[in-house]
Chain A
Amino acid sequence: MMEHVFLYCGLFLSFLMLISLYRGVFGPTVLDRLIGANAIGSKTVVLLILIGLIYGRVDMFVDIALAYAMLNFIAVLAASRYFQKRKGLYDEVE
Chain B
Amino acid sequence: MNIIVIFLLICGLIFFTGGAVGILRFPDFYSRLHPAGKLDTMGSLLMLIGLALFNLHHFSLGALLTSLKILLIVVFVFLSSPTAIHGIVDAGVRAGLTPWTKGEERR
Contacts and interface: CB of A to CB of B under 8 A. Distances in A.
A81 B86 CA distance: 11
Interface of A: 1-2, 5, 9, 12-13, 16, 19-20, 22-23, 28-29, 31-32, 34-36, 38-39, 42-43, 45-46, 49-50, 53, 58-59, 62-63, 65-66, 69-70, 72-73, 76-77, 80-81, 83-84, 86, 89-90, 93
Contacts of B70: 49, 62
Given A16-B16, A28-B107, A76-B88, A66 B69 contact: yes
27 contacts: A22-B24, A28-B29, A29-B97, A34-B88, A35-B32, A35-B88, A36-B23, A38-B84, A39-B23, A42-B44, A42-B77, A43-B40, A45-B48, A46-B12, A69-B76, A69-B77, A69-B80, A70-B76, A70-B80, A73-B76, A77-B84, A80-B88, A80-B90, A81-B87, A84-B95, A89-B97, A90-B96
B102 to A, nearest CB: 19
